[in-house]
Structure 1
Amino acid sequence: MDTTEAALGEEQRRGRPRDPSRDEAIIDASIDALVRDGYDRLSIEGVATAAGVGKATVYRRWSNKAELVIDAMATLKPAIDSIDTGSLDGDIELMVAASCSPSSQRLLQVMVSVCSALPREPELLEAFRTRFTEPRIARITAMLERARSRGELGPGVDVPMAASLVPSLMLQRVLMTGQPAGRAYAEQVVSSVLLPVLGRPARPISTTNPETPRD
């Protein structure tokens, strides 16, 4: 048994209570390391050092790096379970705001840092899909289906495809160009891509520089 396992076993035998402040420090250190160094260079040892805790403390909470990263990403998810203002225009405004909040922008940076590892890490890929991409697209799909039931969308609109446009294009922008996907870019996507796909007229965007986020 190595020293990490021995220390972990000792903590478990003592029944040491879990300290939430340590969880927060570990999560913050993980997010910083992901944005700075990427998934492949992140290590449990490095996170523990940055968080000011022992390696065993991290392993007592997360059994591997993938679990730690997914839980760290989950802390950045927007706290919106549903988007339902009663109108499509209102729902789209709320969707844009949620997509451009500071935590959402940070989450995009973290997602980019793990993308290269997804083909090599089946568990990470599955968690990425089931905890982040699928739920977000499902919320937008429900939003668009409600709009259709109110008569705001025609029957020929491909709702599943439309629901994936904004999150996919925002992630792609950060991944492919390194440029921020802020409020201005989200509004440009809505005006130039999403609304035409929904069979609605494009609307003027509220900035003359789509490269400058207005968060």
Structure 2
Amino acid sequence: MTSTTSAGQERKAPGRPRSAQADEAILDAVLALMAEGQSAAAVSIESVAAKAGVGKATIYRRWPNKEALLIDAVRCMKGPLPALGGVSAREDLIALVTANRSNRAREYGIVTACLLPELQRDPELNRMHQAVMEPRRERMREILRRGVETGEFRADLDIHLTVLMLSGPSMMLGMFGDATGVPEQDFPEKLVDALLRGASA
């Protein structure tokens, strides 16, 4: 799979007014196909169109290629970044972790597992995916830096390693669910608090 389209330029200008309902149906179809176990490579514009109940032309009016469609599906899956209260770094970290959890966490975990091999094989798709994920990682780094500055976290905290430590468990829980032995209930609070036992000043 190859692509020369940047994440910021992935959609063609539409020839007619956009339908939010059609957009949602198409993106949901991508996620549903991958949640059923189809690899990113196996998902086709034809199968997405059939699943969404639209014509292929409807998809191509919105996305120039499958790579751009996949990345928009990931962006939809992740949702918007939450508004943060700024009361404490702990509360803001919990809000970020919570924003990555939903009642579709298990489904999205399967989608992530199906997407990972393709990200390894396709540098351009990987770059587009990183462009979606980087704002979330940077928001988490900002919170950690603020916690260091205010004395909430230890001065020698490894910011990048801590981001990795916060992100990895959430992804694993989404992919493997009950097999991890970790319950979904109160997971964001438990994760943040477990990490803060070593990170607190």
Any idea what the Cα deviations from partners look like across 1:149-203, whole Å, max 9, x if unmatched?
A: 21112211112211221112222344467858834444443343x2134146xxx
Match of 1:9 in 2: none
Q: Distance in 2 between matches of 1:57 and 1:183?
A: 40
Match of 2:89 in 1: 88
Deviation at 1:118, TM superposition (A): 0.9
Match of 1:204 in 2: none
Structure 1: runs of 5 or more not aligned: 1-11, 201-215
Relative contact order: is structure 1 or structure 2 higher (C-alpha 8 Å, sep ≥ 6)? 2
Answer whether contact 1:83 1:139 (CA < 8 A) is retained: no
- Against the structure 1 CA distance between its residues 82 and 147, is the aligned structure 2 distance closer, same or farther, given a 3 Å change threshold? farther
Deviation at 1:104, TM superposition (A): 5.9
1:24 and 2:18 are equivalent in the alignment: no
Answer whether contact 2:106 2:175 (CA < 8 A) is retained: no
Match of 2:55 in 1: 54
Answer whether contact 1:78 1:103 (CA < 8 A) is retained: no
Superposition map of 1:111-126 within 5 A: 111-126=112-127
Deviation at 1:131, TM superposition (A): 0.9
Match of 1:182 in 2: 184
Q: Distance in 1 between matches of 2:141 and 2:168?
A: 14
Q: Distance in 1 between matches of 2:58 and 2:66?
A: 13
Any idea what the Cα deviations from partners look like across 1:97-141, whole Å, max 9, x if unmatched?
A: 223233666544422220011121122101111211x22221111
Match of 2:7 in 1: none
Q: Distance in 2 between matches of 1:93 and 1:173?
A: 16
Q: Distance in 2 between matches of 1:169 and 1:82?
A: 23
Q: Which amino acid aligns with 2:129?
A: F
- Against the structure 1 CA distance between its residues 66 and 154, is the aligned structure 2 distance closer, same or farther, given a 3 Å change threshold? same
Answer whether contact 1:39 1:114 (CA < 8 A) is retained: yes
Match of 1:147 in 2: 147
Q: Distance in 2 between matches of 1:112 and 1:183?
A: 22
- Against the structure 1 CA distance between its residues 155 and 81, is the aligned structure 2 distance closer, same or farther, given a 3 Å change threshold? same
SS of the residue 2:78 aligns to: coil
Deviation at 1:90, TM superposition (A): 2.0
Answer whether contact 1:30 1:72 (CA < 8 A) is retained: yes
Q: Distance in 2 between matches of 1:105 and 1:175?
A: 6
Whose Rg is larger? Answer: 1
Match of 1:40 in 2: 41
Q: Distance in 1 between matches of 2:135 and 2:103?
A: 19
Answer whether contact 2:34 2:114 (CA < 8 A) is retained: yes
- Against the structure 1 CA distance between its residues 105 and 187, is the aligned structure 2 distance closer, same or farther, given a 3 Å change threshold? farther
Task: Give the length in aligned residue pairs.
Answer: 185
Structure 2: runs of 5 or more not aligned: 1-11
CA RMSD of aligned residues (A): 2.7
Normalised TM-score (structure 2): 0.77
Normalised TM-score (structure 1): 0.73
Calculate percent identity across the aligned residue pairs.
31
